[in-house]
Structure 1
Amino acid sequence: ARTTESQVHRELASGLSCPVGFKNGTDGGLQVAIDAIRAAERPHHFLSVTKEGHSAIFSTRGNEDGHIILRGGREPNYDAASVAEASEALVKAHLPPRIMIDFSHANSRKQHMLQIEVAKDVASQVAAGNRHIVGAMIESHIVGGRQDVQDGCTLTYGQSITDACIGWEDSVRVLHDLAMAVRKRRQAR
């Protein structure tokens, strides 16, 4: 979320030929992400290093495939009202209302199992026809939870050493529910 404010990252995003998401601020504010999407849309010139290790000035054409990522802030922001607010803010800024929702971080209050509840809510919005939701971010791994790396300790294979994650079985259920929601949205066209 903090790199959304970084001009260097915005310039790099302007040269990528793939969609790039910018998270709302850690306070929940949308403007920092909207500003980042706008900056990445425009051409930029910046100093960088080539694949051969030489300094060079890079010129980009801009990236029109930016989207906002709702990660929560002081409060979660995955609910229908928050998604509508983000959509309206993007439209007001003359940007396409494309929204990805981060099921983790502040949206799950950093409790990895709450991602399942976030997923159910988002799936219901998609199934109800919300076309502004274009993706989801899920903290997922083979084994649920997380572990610390300590000298002399054996690590559990497939368990995160950073953020706590939902495990394989829960991930499969969440992805199935999201897939069913997308199918329902497609049938409603």
Structure 2
Amino acid sequence: MNMNFKCKLPIPAEVKSEYPVSEELGKIIDKRNEQIADIIRGDNDRLLLIIGPCSADNEDSVLDYISRLRKVQEKVEDKILIVPRIYTNKPRTTGKGYKGMLHQPDPNQEPDMYKGIVAIRKMHLRAIQETGFTCADEMLYPENHRYLNDLLGYVAVGARSTENQQHRLTASGLNVPVGMKNPVSGSLPVLMNSIEAAQSGHTFIYRGWEVVTEGNPLAHAILRGYENHHSQSMPNYHYETLQLLNQFYEQKGFKNPAAIIDTNHCNSGKRPFEQPRIVKEVLSSRKYDENIRRLVKGFMIESYIEDGSQKVDEHIYGKSITDPCIGWEKTEKMIYDIADRV
């Protein structure tokens, strides 16, 4: 076997015991996560805004960004519930490039998975302690989810993972909303199959155990655009696609259709400054059609302190080292504009 077994990592229970959730913090997490779930269930009419850097790369700048969101949240809390993105794993199409803080807590140093596990748990803990926000992360590795499962308010399954059996079955055992992104091909039937799998109960192997799940009724769609046969970015946030997605939900017999619109990736062609325009169009569709209003629960937006992106060795504070983001000034204006339009 062409694998070098570097070191055995601690099990999640060991890491949790070293970096525990206090009783007081647990109450904050439970209350906060119920609010997020209420929106996905349709029991709360506020709009969900899952927003933050493409990937977390520096704890201090990420917490600086989230603390700014906290101040904005207080002004729009009657219209919007903000869920910061702390994405600690970064999927790479070819496997090359920065893979996130789980791999490299310091992007300029060699990978160290144990330090990464500790770093991402401490960062999510700090976010809750300092801002009261439970945050969103991507479940890139299903077997690693339990290092953070007691801290997260929202989980995303990426476009390259949503067809994977282990991701679907693991999602069925989570107790927070799980957004399943449409696959890179854009197939809505494949997307609906992933949601059905995540909402159903299963028996399977997880971390060396035979586990049984009851299904996750909070599993739902994330539309992020797709690539055509010529690798061109194609959007899927327009009115007609939202109507079609709602029809697929009805055909499947789901009681609670729910979708989040990812305004970057293929929907924007990775042109982050298009995101406010895309939000406005979707909000117009929600106002025009009651079914779309019930379907679209919110947006996923890539945003950081500084506009654009940079190379790892440039060291500009608060600027993405992966996909480009919109900066804070544009972000703040956009959030207030959303609140005015909802």
The normalised TM-score by structure 1 is: 0.86
What is the Cα deviation at residue 135 of structure 1?
1.4
CA contact (8 A) 1:24 1:31 kept: no
Matching of residue 89 in structure 1 with residue 248 in structure 2: yes
Q: 1:25 is matched by which residue type in structure 2? A: P
Is the deviation greater in 95-104 or in 7-16? 95-104
Matching of residue 170 in structure 1 with residue 330 in structure 2: yes
Summarize deviations over 1:109-143 as a string: whole Å, max 9, x none: 11111112111212222344522110110011011
Q: 1:41 is matched by which residue type in structure 2? A: Q
Tell me what 2:162 maps to. 4
Matching of residue 32 in structure 1 with residue 32 in structure 2: no
Superposition RMSD on alpha carbons, in Å?
1.5
Taking the aligned partners of 1:91 and 1:165, their CA distance within structure 2 comes to 35
Tell me what 2:297 maps to. 134
Q: Residue 147 of structure 1: which of 307, 310, 319 is its match? A: 310
| Structure 2 portions without partners, runs of 5+ | 1-158, 229-233
What is the Cα deviation at residue 59 of structure 1?
1.5
Query: What are the within-5 Å matches in structure 2 for residues 95-134 of structure 1?
Result: 95=254, 96-128=256-288, 129=290, 130-134=293-297
What is the Cα deviation at residue 21 of structure 1?
0.9
What is the Cα deviation at residue 38 of structure 1?
0.6
Taking the aligned partners of 1:38 and 1:80, their CA distance within structure 2 comes to 23
Summarize deviations over 1:96-115 as a string: whole Å, max 9, x none: 32111000011101111111
Judging changes above 3 Å, is the alpha-carbon distance between structure 1 residues 173 and 122 closer, same or farther for their aligned structure 2 residues?
farther
Query: Tell me, what secondary structure is at the counterpart of 1:5?
Result: coil
Taking the aligned partners of 2:294 and 2:339, their CA distance within structure 1 comes to 14
Query: What are the within-5 Å matches in structure 2 for residues 14-53 of structure 1?
Result: 14-49=172-207
Taking the aligned partners of 1:168 and 1:179, their CA distance within structure 2 comes to 17
Query: Tell me, what secondary structure is at the counterpart of 1:160?
Result: coil
Tell me what 2:340 maps to. 180
What is the Cα deviation at residue 169 of structure 1?
1.3
Q: 2:235 is matched by which residue type in structure 1? A: P
CA contact (8 A) 1:147 1:162 kept: yes
What is the Cα deviation at residue 94 of structure 1?
1.2
The normalised TM-score by structure 2 is: 0.49
Q: 1:43 is matched by which residue type in structure 2? A: G
What is the Cα deviation at residue 61 of structure 1?
0.9
Tell me what 2:223 maps to. 70
Taking the aligned partners of 2:280 and 2:338, their CA distance within structure 1 comes to 8
- Percent sequence identity over matched residues? 40
Is the deviation greater in 124-133 or in 102-111? 124-133
| Structure 1 portions without partners, runs of 5+ | 50-54, 183-189
CA contact (8 A) 1:68 1:100 kept: yes
Is the deviation greater in 27-36 or in 120-129? 120-129
Taking the aligned partners of 1:114 and 1:142, their CA distance within structure 2 comes to 17
